Chains A and B, each alone.
Chain A
Amino acid sequence: MAIVAQNTKFGTYGRPLLAWFIALLFFFPIFWLILTSFKTDADAVKPEFLFFFTPTLDNYLNMTENYNYWRFASNSVITSVFATAVALFVGIPAAYAMAFNPSRHTKDILMWMLSTKMLPAAAVLYPMTFLAKSIGLFDTHFVIIMVLALINLPIVVWMLFTYFKEIPKDIIEAGQMDGVNTWGEIKEILIPLAWGGIASTALLCFIFCWNEAYWTVRLTTTDAATLSKLIEGNRAPEGLFFGRLSAVSAAAVGPIVVLGWFCQKQLVQGLTFGAVK
């Protein structure tokens, strides 16, 4: 059947065209964002300058000089890297235990973990904010790292669990017979064998952390504020300055888009995990 489908006209021309159309459709907002970031605030809202305008770097210069872009960016890097590290540090042993020593409650635990993702974040906004403030952790890297790590932990555990499940149990048992302890099993056998899966999980977790806006905006003011906060901070009472806002947004999504581009293979593998054996 598949071979027949390949030979139809749709298979030859229609499908690639459709793919290009969808890709461009998805890429357009980013393209528009980048384009707008090189316009002045005045030009940005005028339809006649949609594609043809005099480009300027003012928005970017303004952003780095007046908005302290690099501090926000470094906060984003710090919180995302450490949150990913914490999530993996907890997630790898958890997924290992469930994949290789499952109990009859393992499925329930996995579902329960996933169910925490269904809780609306707003429901715990006040408790979280008060908690952070009362223990003096408001606007610190620590609280952001912990929150980011915890909200991504379910997906990290799920992904790792799926990857670990594909490792034959015999290999782990051979390790036990060969005299390794639990930590040795993880370090010597599990991590080297699941390296690809762990990398995709880490990458996806990093992207989620980087893009997270709800908590990073609400639990920080300046010291631990990330790029999400910088974008959010560009709302002014006088209205939106589209040129500046676009520059900030482009500079915020830029690193992650580039990272995603270079790691396409791992990401696709990560996002379709479990789809094909």
Chain B
Amino acid sequence: MGRIVLEKVVKRFGETEVIPPLDLTIEEGEFAVFVGPSGCGKSTLLRLIAGLEDATAGKVIIDGEDVTEVSPSKRGLAMVFQSYALYPHMTVRKNIAFPMRMAGMPEDEQERRIAAAAKSLNLTDYLDRKPGQLSGGQRQRVAIGRAIVREPSAFLFDEPLSNLDAALRVGMRLEISEMHKKLKTTMIYVTHDQVEAMTMADRIVVLQAGVIEQVGSPLELYHKPRNRFVAGFIGSPKMNLLEGPAAAELDAHTIGVRPEHISVSTKASKTAWKGTVGVAEHLGSDTFIHIHGVEGCDPMTVRAAGDIAVQHGDTVYLTPDREQIHRFDDQGLRI
């Protein structure tokens, strides 16, 4: 269970239309990620599904049932908030038990589920602590535990990892992915971090100003971005977008080349783009070189081997992989 359909959903705050009419279907068992820059309406969309915001128009359908007018408590969804939103006056055990207690579940069943959730989330030793005595990562686990025990038809995650430090974020990302593989329950995950989106999603929904720019699997978005916005948003470092003669040569208004699809050489070449090295970021495995002076794109970022020997001020020649060039028209759409 857990097929979620949005039909012509609109959300306005006063005069401002945050989400213009939008259609979207999230299939049962899917891990869908809503990604976009801040203020693009991704959280609002999630809250519309949760029922925490009322849709101005349109329908929210969960498992075939129109729940547009149904209160959040009756939609059978569980949500994990960015701020964790644990009940500070309750112990971990009571926090996790809360939704079951509200549903009037028998106590022995509650205990069984708490024990199971605590075991899988490494919380067994902390059950009698209050949230204030836990670290950020542990709090987030409690929040997830509270969501799991209800066995909801879908999980909603609202930027759940944003408050964690980088190392913990990578760990939790894996845990959530593994949880999805195990539970096979629909998950909708909101993030502004395209790396999270790429690594976790079955399907990514890219949003900008409340409009869906593209829906697709991570690799579809990577290989075939529908427009300039998606091209620039997905991938790290960002795709280089060039305008001017280089684009005109290929009958396009703009062309895009990802940093990993450009080779760098210090040997002069007539066909290559010429530039000067600005900053070279050595990561060990790779080197990100920011190059100035390339016509139509300044700076241009190139991903090179970890041991490349270039320095600030060096002149380099860049050759894009012709197969991997994306072309866009003057509307920004893919050609």
Contact call B85/A179, Cβ cutoff below 8 A: no
Q: Which residue of A lies closest to B78 (CB)?
A: A177
Q: Which residues of chain A have C-beta atoms less than 8 A from B52's C-beta?
A: 173, 176-177
A255 at the interface (CB under 8 A from B): no
How far is B102's CA from A97's CA once the two chains are assembled, in angstroms? 21
Cβ contact within 8 Å between A170 and B99: no
- Contact status A168-B85, CB under 8 Å: yes
Most chain B CB neighbours (cut-off 10 Å) among A168, A170, A174, A184: A174
Known contacts A176-B73, A178-B146; is-contact A170 B85 (Cβ 8 Å): yes
Tell which of B14, B85, B102, B146 touches A180, judged by Cβ atoms closer than 8 Å: B102
Q: Once the chains are docked, how many angstroms separate the CA of A104 from the CA of B13?
A: 11
A-B contact pairs, 21 of them (CB 8 A): A104-B14, A168-B85, A170-B81, A170-B83, A171-B86, A173-B52, A173-B79, A173-B81, A174-B79, A176-B52, A176-B72, A176-B73, A177-B73, A177-B78, A177-B99, A177-B156, A178-B78, A178-B98, A179-B99, A180-B102, A188-B98
CB contact list, B61-116 vs A, under 8 A:
71-74, 77-79, 81-83, 85-89, 98-99, 102-103
Q: Which 7 A-B pairs have the closest CB atoms?
A: A170-B85, A174-B85, A178-B99, A179-B102, A176-B72, A177-B79, A179-B73
Mask: chain B, 34-53; 1 = CB below 8 Å from A; 0 = not: 00000000000000001110
Residue pair A189, B103 in contact (C-beta under 8 Å): no
Contact A180 B73 (CB under 8 A): yes
Q: Which residue of B lies closest to A191 (CB)?
A: B89
Interfacial chain A residues near B74, Cβ < 8 Å: 179
| A237 interface residue (CB < 8 Å to B) | no
Question: Across the interface, which residues of A come within 8 angstroms of B71, CB to CB?
Answer: 176, 181
Q: A173-B52, A192-B89, A193-B89 are in contact. Are A178 and B81 (CB under 8 A)?
A: no
Q: Mark A143-185, 1 if CB is under 8 A from B, else 0.
A: 0000000000000000000000000101101111111110010
Closest to A177 in B: B79
Which residues of chain A come closer than 8 Å to B72, judged between CB atoms?
173, 176-177
Give 1 or 0 for each of B1-26: 1 = CB within 8 Å of chain A CB: 00000000000001000000000000
Contact assessment for B99 and A189 in the assembled complex, using a CB-CB cutoff below 8 Å: no
From A173, A184, A188, give the contact of B85 (CB < 8 A).
A173
- A178–B88 alpha-carbon span in the complex (Å): 15
Contact B73 A181 (CB under 8 A): yes
CA distance A271 to B81 in the complex (A): 34
For residue B83, give the distance in angstroms from its CB to the closest CB of chain A: 5
Instruction: Point out the residues of chain A lying under 8 angstroms from B98, CB to CB.
Output: 175, 178, 188
- A150 CA / B134 CA spacing, docked (Å): 44
A residues apposed to B, CB below 8 Å? 104, 168, 170-171, 173-181, 184, 188-189, 192-193
Shortest beta-carbon distance, B131 to chain A, in Å? 10
Name the distance in Å between B90's Cβ and chain A's nearest Cβ: 8
A178 touches B83 (CB 8 A): no
Question: CA–CA, A180 to B85, complex, Å?
Answer: 15
A73 to chain B, nearest CB (A): 36
Measured in the bound complex, the distance between the Cα atoms of B95 and A174 in whole Å is 11
Question: Nearest A residue to B72 by beta-carbon distance?
Answer: A176
Q: Is the CB of A174 within 8 A of B81?
A: yes
Which residue of B is nearest A173, CB measured? B52
Please state if B73 and A171 are interface contacts (CB–CB under 8 Å): no
Complex: how many Å from CA A193 to CA B86? Answer: 12
Measured CA separation A67–B50 after assembly (Å): 64
What chain A residues lie within 8 Å of B103 (beta carbons)? 179
Residue of B nearest to A185 (CB): B73
Most-contacted residue by chain B among A104, A173, A189 (CB, 10 A): A173
Min CB distance B74 to A, Å, is: 8
The answer for the CA separation of A107 and B14 in the assembled complex, in Å, is: 17
Q: Which of B14, B81, B87 contacts A189 (CB 8 A)?
A: B87
Whole-angstrom distance between the Cβ of B101 and the nearest chain A Cβ: 9
Q: Are A184 and B102 neighbours in the complex by a CB distance under 8 Å?
A: yes
A177 to B153, CA, bound (A): 12
Residue in B50, B85, B99 whose beta carbon sits within 8 Å of that of A171 in the complex: B85
Least Cβ–Cβ distance between B100 and chain A, in angstroms = 9
Docked-complex contact A177 and B50, CB < 8 angstroms = yes
B146 vs chain A, min Cβ distance (A): 7
Complex formed: what's the CA distance from A104 to B78 in Å?
30
With a CB–CB cut-off of 8 A, which chain B residues contact A184? 102
User: Measured between C-beta atoms, what is the minimum distance from A220 to chain B in Å?
Assistant: 42
List, in ascending order, chain B residues with CB within 8 A of A180's CB. Answer: 73, 102
Residues in chain A near residue B82, CB distance under 8 A: 170
| CB atoms of B83 and A168 under 8 A apart | yes
Name the residue among A170, A177, A193 with the largest chain B CB count within 10 angstroms: A177
- Residues on B with C-beta less than 8 A from A193 are 87-89
B332 to chain A, nearest CB (A): 36
- Chain B, range 121-162, C-beta contacts under 8 Å to A: 146, 150, 156
Min C-beta distance of B323 to chain A, whole Å: 47
Q: How far is the CB of B119 from chain A (nearest CB, A)?
A: 21
